[in-house]
Amino acid sequence: EAGVAQSPRYKIIEKRQSVAFWCNPISGHATLYWYQQILGQGPKLLIQFQNNGVVDDSQLPKDRFSAERLKGVDSTLKIQPAKLEDSAVYLCASSLEKSRQFFGPGTRLTVL
């Protein structure tokens, strides 16, 4: 079974630039999550999709972050414009309902 795929693995940008991350969940997983993990902390949920609908985006900084899930499968997370404090690992996860989450390897973002 293929796992959750994410790209790119690493990204370095300057503040005020834009960046986009891509996630391909495990086939058949209806629920998709984006997390932000700052160094030394636990993952913080940014947005949760059920199929292509948003279930929870209460902690997504909507003035600069946006996310979409195309046809209920792949998802992209965008930051525009980036700030220094956005430096973190961005993790994508997917799951069947009421079950364990499968995580991708993450994208490490450095904002200079």
Binding residues for another protein, per CB under 8 A? 4, 31, 33, 35, 41-45, 48, 55-56, 91, 93, 95, 97-106, 108
Cβ of residue 81: shortest distance to another protein, in angstroms? 26
CB-wise, 19 or 23, nearer to another protein?
Answer: 23
Report the Cα 91 to chain-centroid distance in Å.
5
Q: How far apart are CA 10 and CA 109, in angstroms?
A: 6
- Per the CB < 8 A criterion, the answer to whether 88 and 39 are in contact is yes
CB-wise, 53 or 63, nearer to another protein?
Answer: 53
CB-wise, 35 or 65, nearer to another protein?
Answer: 35
Closest alpha carbon to 46 in 111, 112, 109, 98:
109
